[in-house]
A = this chain, B = another copy of it.
Amino acid sequence: MPVGTQATVKAMTPEELDAAGAQIILGNTYHLYLRPGCDVIGRFDGLHRFMHWDKPILTDSGGFQVFSLAKLRKLAEEGYAFQSHIDGSRHLLTPEKSMEVQICLDSDIIMCLDQCLEHPAAREQAADALALTTRWAQRCKTFWQAQTDCRNHLFGIVQGGMFADLRARSAAEIAAIGFPGYAVGGLSVGEPKELMMEMAAHTLPLLPTDSPRYIMGVGTPEDLVELVALGADMFDCVMPTRNARNGQLFTERGNINICNARYREEEQPPDPDCGCYTCRHYSLAYLRHLYTAREILAYRLNTIHNIHYYVNLVKQMRAAILAETFENFKKDFYRKRQVTSA
């Protein structure tokens, strides 16, 4: 899922996302709740019409951004009290409030409010956070079930820090409440890559295999390949869009830093085999020029390519799984990515 924090996937139109093959995007509840606010988006019956995107949208609960962006946040059983990072205004984000806002946004998939932790976190803190996350998950489900004609699908989130037994406890508790889909939260928060993979490998098999399993906030192309091998079905990450704006292009043959002087006169596109709009019409020399000159079109063309790359990578993995050739795909992926990786 490309990330569309503020009701736009940065630099892209919905038509461009569609052309890149995106089937679903992510919106950030914290940002949208603060600006433009639910009253505004509510007038458009939700995010879809407001932002002119008629395919599925998943919104997060708002908890992670309260945790990472808000000022003076205070956690209690009831929820998070916090001040807006934009204007300092005071707000209370409870499980029920998160549901209410996400239902107002009319997201196709809405997420339970969970308690996030800094890394590293002590075992006791992680145990408390997972217990609160379970109680909040029950409150979210109760609120969600009480809605009439609710077309939004509610996903539960597993926490538990970097402790295998706590992950197992959280997965059991969240699965016991029962949701149409499950996410693994609290990964990619600063821990070593090996630890993230260990936790994902441990947690994914504990979740119902007949429901989508979603790893939140991950990751590099290599991360996605490893996690799909472990059974993950869904991802969101700012990497394709943010790195595009920082001049990094992902390709099958490695990553390109568009500032590199070697591309000054290069007539080839980033990837001659790529079918995206950028690779069909523009050279590395032009992309380097635009980026050096800080032109808006640089961010656009880089983003188009990276989203196309990510979406296409996941499409290829899906096809390989269905054709039972995933192991070959994975070998081929690593062989190519190492050729000119820079």
Copies in the complex: 2
Residue of B at shortest CB range from A297?
Answer: B8
The reply on A13 being an interface residue by CB < 8 A is: yes
Judging by beta carbons under 8 Å apart, are B283 and A44 in contact? yes
Contacts of A10 in B (CB 8 A): 295-297
Judging by beta carbons under 8 Å apart, are B286 and A51 in contact? yes
For the complex, give the distance between the alpha carbons of A21 and B17 in Å: 24
The reply on A267 being an interface residue by CB < 8 A is: yes
Judging by beta carbons under 8 Å apart, are B6 and A295 in contact? yes
Judging by beta carbons under 8 Å apart, are B293 and A35 in contact? yes
Residue of B at shortest CB range from A280?
Answer: B52
- Bits for A278-293, please: 1 = Cβ < 8 Å to B, else 0: 0001110110111011
The reply on A222 being an interface residue by CB < 8 A is: no
Contacts of A55 in B (CB 8 A): none
A181 nearest CB across to chain B (Å): 29
Contacts of A281 in B (CB 8 A): 52
Give chain A interface residues in 32-48, CB to chain B under 8 Å. 35-36, 39-40, 43-44
Give chain A interface residues in 299-324, CB to chain B under 8 Å. 299-300
The reply on A223 being an interface residue by CB < 8 A is: no
Residues of A within 8 A of B (CB): 6-8, 10-13, 31, 35-36, 39-40, 43-44, 50-52, 264-265, 267, 281-283, 285-286, 288-290, 292-293, 295-297, 299-300
By Cβ-Cβ distance, the 6 closest A-B pairs, closest first, are A36-B289, A11-B296, A6-B293, A8-B297, A52-B281, A8-B295
For the complex, give the distance between the alpha carbons of A36 and B258 in Å: 14
For the complex, give the distance between the alpha carbons of A36 and B264 in Å: 8
Most chain B CB inside 10 Å of its own CB: which residue of A31, A44, A292, A296:
A296
8 A-B pairs (CB sep. < 8 Å): A6-B290, A7-B289, A8-B297, A11-B296, A35-B292, A43-B265, A50-B286, A52-B281
CB within 8 Å for A43 and B295 given contacts A50-B286, A281-B52: no
CB within 8 Å for A282 and B52 given contacts A11-B296, A295-B8: yes
Residue of B at shortest CB range from A10?
Answer: B296
Judging by beta carbons under 8 Å apart, are A285 and B40 in contact? yes
Contacts of A265 in B (CB 8 A): 39-40, 43
- Extra pairs beyond A31-B293, A52-B281 (17, CB < 8 Å): A6-B289, A6-B290, A6-B293, A7-B286, A7-B289, A8-B295, A8-B297, A10-B295, A11-B297, A35-B289, A36-B289, A36-B292, A44-B267, A50-B285, A51-B286, A52-B286, A300-B300
